């Protein structure tokens, strides 16, 4: 029996507003994630203890990596949402595609966009592609954590109905207590994944290109599939029936690729350069 429900914290989704110009928590989460990731990557590539002679991009090129990844994440995330989740609506209202400040970003689309950005960066600077991917995978959970917190503040992507003591009644729903699934995802896809990946990096995983990327793909895919059991799918866009959701289906190949990449990297002899 439901005995306690947490009140939803009424946080204004707009952090600061000057006339028509508004800075929203949603946008700030993306900016903060990219900047914090950039700062950590710069520190790691400058520290020889992580590498033991393994070739990596130069520290002064990481500024450009931020730009490549930022464009990839934003463009890919938006196009992923448009093409994977609601193409009929967006093709009927094409101007809505450009209103990214209103939300609507798909993680898997952003992942593909970031991958393209990494490939372009590695080609331009002659940097080892897998190593650049490892660096981006290492810091990706920072942005995921902040993005899921922003989903909670918005609020959007709320959970299924439940009677757990920490249930929340979200505004805009049917008034029933629900799982704060955004917080689950922030803790699993963001915080836990980062702790695992950073711990591996401290143990020398960056000396074997592909390990960090493989573990990230597995960790994120598994955490996303688990979280989908608590997240309320859009019956029109995300619910595929028989307990499956779009998020689950898109995460399965991510895990498969991660396992294959991890096996390939660990089976190579010596330390790759």
pLDDT tens readout for residues 125-143: 999 999 999 999 999 999 9
Mean pLDDT for the stretch of residues 197-219: 96
Say whether pLDDT at 81 is over 90: no
Cβ contact 121:97 at 8 Å: no
Assess if residue 50 is contained within a domain: yes
Residues in the chain: 273
Q: CB count, 10 Å around CB of 91?
A: 12
Please state the pTM of the whole predicted model: 0.84
Cβ contact 123:90 at 8 Å: no
Angstrom distances, CA of residue 174 to CA of 155, 161, 177, 261: 14, 10, 9, 44
Q: Report residue 222's pLDDT band, with 50, 70 and 90 as the boundaries.
A: very high
Q: Report residue 1's pLDDT band, with 50, 70 and 90 as the boundaries.
A: very low
Say whether pLDDT at 6 is over 80: no
Assess if residue 157 is contained within a domain: yes
**pLDDT score for 20:** 56
Which residue range is the domain that position 239 belongs to?
15-267
φ/ψ of 125, rounded to 5, equals -100, 0
Average pLDDT, the chain: 86
* Percent helix / strand / coil, the chain, rounded to 5: 65, 5, 30
Mean pLDDT for the stretch of residues 101-121: 83
Is beta strand 239-241 parallel, antiparallel or unpaired with respect to 244-245? Answer: antiparallel
Assess if residue 28 is contained within a domain: yes
Assess if residue 6 is contained within a domain: no
Assess if residue 10 is contained within a domain: no
Distance of alpha carbon 186 from alpha carbon 143, whole angstroms = 10
Say whether pLDDT at 216 is over 90: yes
Distance of alpha carbon 142 from alpha carbon 36, whole angstroms = 8
DSSP 133-157: HHHHHHHHHHHHHHHHHHHHHTT-S
Return the percentage of the chain with pLDDT > 70, whole number: 87
**Run of H or E including 201:** helix 193-202
Q: CB count, 10 Å around CB of 53?
A: 9
Mean pLDDT for the stretch of residues 33-49: 93
27 or 245: which leads in pLDDT: 245
Say whether pLDDT at 181 is over 70: yes
Distance of alpha carbon 115 from alpha carbon 130, whole angstroms = 11
**Domains of the chain: total:** 1
**pLDDT score for 266:** 92
Assess if residue 2 is contained within a domain: no
Assess if residue 8 is contained within a domain: no
Assess if residue 5 is contained within a domain: no
């Amino acid at each position: 029996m439901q005995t306690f429900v947490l009140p939803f914290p009424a946080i204004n989704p707009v952090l600061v507003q000057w006339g028509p110009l508004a800075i929203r928590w949603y946008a700030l989460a993306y900016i903060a994630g990219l900047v914090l990731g950039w700062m950590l990557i710069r520190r790691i590539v400058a520290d020889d203890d992580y590498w033991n002679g393994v070739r990596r991009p130069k520290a002064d090129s990481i500024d450009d990596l931020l730009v490549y990844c930022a464009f990839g994440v934003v463009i890919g995330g938006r196009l992923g949402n448009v093409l994977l989740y609601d193409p009929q609506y967006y093709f009927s209202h094409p101007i809505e595609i450009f209103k990214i400040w209103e939300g609507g970003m798909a993680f898997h689309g952003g992942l593909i966009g970031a991958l393209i950005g990494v490939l372009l960066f590695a080609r331009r600077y002659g940097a080892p592609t897998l190593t650049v991917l490892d660096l981006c995978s290492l810091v990706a959970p920072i942005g995921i954590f902040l993005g899921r917190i922003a989903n909670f503040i918005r609020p959007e992507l709320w959970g299924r109905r439940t009677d757990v003591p920490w249930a929340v009644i979200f505004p805009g729903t049917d008034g029933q207590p629900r799982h704060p699934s955004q917080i689950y995802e922030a803790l699993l896809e963001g915080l836990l994944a980062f702790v695992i990946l950073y711990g591996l990096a401290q143990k020398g995983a960056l000396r074997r290109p592909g390990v960090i990327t493989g573990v990230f793909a597995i960790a994120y895919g598994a955490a996303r599939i688990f979280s989908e059991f608590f997240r309320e799918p859009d019956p029109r866009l995300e619910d595929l029936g028989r307990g499956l959701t779009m998020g689950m289906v898109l995460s399965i190949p991510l895990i498969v690729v991660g396992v294959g990449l991890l096996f390939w990297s660990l089976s190579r002899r010596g330390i790759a350069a």
